């Protein structure tokens, strides 16, 4: 059995682009061209998994990543890995277990998806960026020196930000009516929202590097190619519908109510912890998440190109 590169979260927001991009990059890499590419899924019957299985060079395996052991990694001869973990309150326990197992199995390099750079700190009021900070602190410890890693501190995903705009445009075109436009962004603070597919492309470029040591322990800040504000989104909508947007709610985090009701209310998760998500956008409202923060290494590897207008167009066509 040949060596392999493992994808955890291959069917998620960023993983599909990794699976689509990496095989092409490996074709021109003498060192890695013989590596298998393993994409994990909890169900090989899912539509996304079936599409991944059609990509030449990609092997889809049913396996829950949180149950991966040292023995499993050794059996599949994993040398490099990509992980896009969940953001549940138990993320640290499960992702740190994965990293320790990669260390003990002799995996050489891991690329992981983090979150908005301005939030990855021990005093962030939202719970999940603190988990990412803790994972990065663990990976930075001397005890894990034998595991090389790169953390991609990506800005908020552009489809999440642009979806309310697409919904209002679709409804207006169909009924001539408008609901309140609820935008997570503030009216004026610029934010470098990013297409998750382009995060996957960057991860693939990192995984295909001959010398990963130059990116070891790096925490790269990922933004899209241009900033957007809440007011600019309103302007874009008005260009599409030809009439003013009647009612806008900026800095709107009311979606957390629905998230808690439908995903967490029936569980034993702390309501206090879940509702801390409401404070995650504060750094964006303070102007700390613009494209000016992008890491130059990312722009040199695979600079993101999809603008907010591109994302809105794709959402309307989807």
For the chain, which domains are there? 4-156+195-222 (3.40.50.720), 158-191+225-289+305-317 (3.90.25)
Place of tokens 């991944």: 52
Cβ-based neighbours of 244, under 8 Å, separated by 6 or more:
238
State how far the Cα of 124 lies from the Cα of 118, in Å rounded to an integer: 9
Dihedral sign of CA atoms 104, 213, 27, 298 in order: positive
Which pLDDT belongs to residue 53?
Answer: 81
Which pLDDT belongs to residue 160?
Answer: 96
Which pLDDT belongs to residue 1?
Answer: 64
State how far the Cα of 209 lies from the Cα of 200, in Å rounded to an integer: 15
State how far the Cα of 8 lies from the Cα of 176, in Å rounded to an integer: 43
Three-state DSSP class for residue 83 = strand
State how far the Cα of 72 lies from the Cα of 127, in Å rounded to an integer: 31
Which pLDDT belongs to residue 115?
Answer: 97
Strands (E), the chain: 4-8, 36-41, 58-62, 78-83, 109-113, 148-154, 181-182, 218-222, 248-249
pTM metric for this prediction: 0.94
State how far the Cα of 173 lies from the Cα of 170, in Å rounded to an integer: 5
In the DSSP assignment, the letter for residue 291 is G
Mean pLDDT by 10 residues, the chain (318 residues): 85 80 86 86 80 84 94 97 94 98 98 98 98 98 98 97 98 97 98 96 96 97 98 98 97 95 91 97 98 97 97 94
State how far the Cα of 7 lies from the Cα of 258, in Å rounded to an integer: 30
Q: Which residues pair with 221 in a beta bridge?
A: 153
């Amino acid at each position: 059995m040949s060596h392999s590169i493992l994808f955890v979260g291959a069917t998620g927001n960023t993983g599909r682009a990794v699976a689509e991009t990496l095989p092409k990059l490996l074709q021109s890499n003498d060192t890695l061209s013989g590596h298998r590419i393993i994409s994990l899924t909890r169900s090989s019957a899912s539509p996304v998994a079936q599409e991944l299985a059609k990509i030449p060079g990609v092997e889809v395996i049913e396996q829950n990543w949180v149950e991966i052991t040292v023995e499993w990694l050794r059996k599949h001869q994993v040398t490099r890995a990509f992980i896009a973990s969940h953001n549940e309150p138990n993320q640290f326990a499960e992702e740190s277990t994965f990293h320790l197992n990669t260390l003990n199995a002799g995996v050489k390099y891991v690329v992981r998806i983090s979150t908005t750079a301005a939030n990855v700190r021990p005093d962030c009021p939202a719970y999940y960026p603190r988990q990412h900070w803790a994972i990065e602190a663990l990976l930075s410890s001397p005890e894990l020196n034998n595991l090389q890693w790169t953390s991609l501190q990506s800005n908020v995903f552009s489809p999440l930000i642009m979806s309310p705009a697409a919904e209002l445009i679709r409804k207006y075109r169909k009924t001539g009516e408008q609901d309140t436009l609820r935008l997570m962004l503030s009216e004026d603070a610029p934010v470098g929202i990013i297409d998750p597919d382009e995060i996957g492309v960057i991860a693939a470029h990192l995984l295909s590097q001959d010398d990963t040591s130059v990116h070891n322990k790096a925490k790269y800040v990922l933004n899209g190619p241009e900033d957007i504000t809440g007011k600019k989104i309103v302007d874009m909508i008005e260009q599409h519908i030809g009439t003013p947007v009647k009612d806008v709610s900026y800095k709107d985090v009311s979606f957390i109510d629905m998230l808690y009701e439908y995903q967490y209310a029936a569980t034993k998760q702390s309501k206090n912890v879940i509702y801390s998500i409401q404070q995650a956008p504060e750094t964006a409202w303070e102007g700390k998440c613009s494209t000016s923060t992008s890491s130059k290494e990312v722009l040199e590897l695979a600079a993101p190109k999809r603008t907010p207008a591109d994302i809105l167009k794709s959402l309307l066509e989807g």
